[in-house]
Every structure is written in structure tokens, then in C-alpha cells.
């Protein structure tokens, strides 16, 4: 079980991930282009930060089709097989963020399962029944 996470991005999706991590008792740091009281910048991602945060969640739209060449600016060389990269992007199924991490031995998951679970929950809320 992961104890600490880095959340890449500070928008609406980031807020949802923060809520879930709080519920799961997982500590986190938010990484964004601009520093604030509770946010560090991409430039502050050093060996210590990367080593202490084995779960890295991309909540930015970077890498989403059709701009599949873009990716979060993190120090991929510091990643290891102990890291798990979770990308909320589901199209394409394998983003450059995921590929760069996997080249360093990290595991990577895209956002397709999350999208599916959101759709099922929406169906339940709006229609009033479980999926058929």
C-alpha cells in the first residue's frame, strides 16, 4: 500500500483525487506550475521527494488526444520499479507520461477504469439502479 502520493495538477480533477487520498489515509503533495502554501512546483521535484512519494497521479490534461506528445515535466530518471504512475487520461490508452515511467521500471495505469466506475455510479444515481 502506498503511503505518500504526488498529485500532478491543481484543478478540479486534482481536488477529487485529494478527497479520495484523504479518505484512504494517503498523504500527498500537490505539484503545479505555481507554488502556493500547499503546492510545490515541478522544479522542486528532487530525489528525496520522488523517493518519498511512490504513487504519482497525473490529473492534468497533458498527453490527452490529440496532443499525445505532451507530458508532465517530472524527473523520470529518478523513477524506479517501486513507483506506480496513475494517469487520469484514458485516450490514448498509454500516454507518454506512462511510457517514460515504464522505461524506468515503474508500473503505470491509465484512467479508463476510473471513467467506467464514474459512468456506473452516474447511472446508479440518475436511473436509480445498478448497471444491467
Provide the domain count of the chain: 1
For 77, phi and psi rounded to 5 degrees? -65, -20
Residue 132 forms part of a structural domain: no
pLDDT by residue (tens digit) across 4-43? 999 999 999 999 999 999 999 999 999 999 989 899 999 9
Residue 94 in any domain: the answer is yes
What DSSP character marks residue 11?
Answer: S
Domain assignment of residue 32, yes or no: yes
User: Is 97 part of a structural domain of the chain?
Assistant: yes
pLDDT above 80 (res 130):
no
Give dist(CA 111, CA 2) in Å, integer.
18
In a domain, 121, yes or no: yes
Cβ proximity of 28 and 49 under 8 Å: no
Which CATH number belongs to the domain containing residue 98 in this structure?
Answer: 3.40.50.720
Mean pLDDT score, 39-66: 97
The DSSP string of 55-107 is: EEEE-S-TT-TT-TT------GGG--TT-EEEES--SSSS-HHHHHHHHTT-E
pTM of the model: 0.91
Assigned domain for 68 exists? yes
- Quote the domain boundaries for residue 53: 4-127
Judge whether 117 lies within some domain: yes
**What is the pLDDT, as a whole number, of residue 10?**
96
pLDDT digits (tens, 9 = 90+) for 78-127: 999 999 999 999 999 999 999 999 999 999 999 988 888 888 888 888 88
pLDDT at site 102: 98
What is the dihedral angle through the alpha carbons of 105, 109, 60, 97, rounded to the nearest 10 degrees?
A: 30
Structural domain contains residue 35: yes
pLDDT attached to residue 90: 93
Amino acid at each position: 500500500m502506498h503511503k505518500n502520493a504526488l498529485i500532478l495538477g491543481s484543478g478540479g480533477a486534482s481536488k477529487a483525487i485529494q478527497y479520495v487520498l484523504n479518505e484512504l489515509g494517503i498523504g500527498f503533495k500537490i505539484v503545479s506550475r505555481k507554488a502556493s502554501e500547499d503546492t510545490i512546483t515541478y522544479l522542486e521535484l528532487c530525489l528525496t521527494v520522488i523517493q518519498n512519494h511512490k504513487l504519482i497521479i497525473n490529473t492534468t490534461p497533458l498527453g490527452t488526444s490529440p496532443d499525445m506528445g505532451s507530458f508532465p515535466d517530472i524527473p523520470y530518471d529518478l523513477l524506479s520499479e517501486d513507483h506506480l504512475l496513475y494517469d487520469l487520461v484514458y485516450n490514448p490508452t498509454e500516454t507518454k507520461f506512462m511510457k517514460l515511467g515504464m522505461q524506468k521500471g515503474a508500473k503505470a495505469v491509465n484512467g479508463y477504469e476510473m471513467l467506467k466506475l464514474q459512468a456506473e455510479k452516474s447511472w446508479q444515481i440518475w436511473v436509480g439502479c445498478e448497471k444491467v
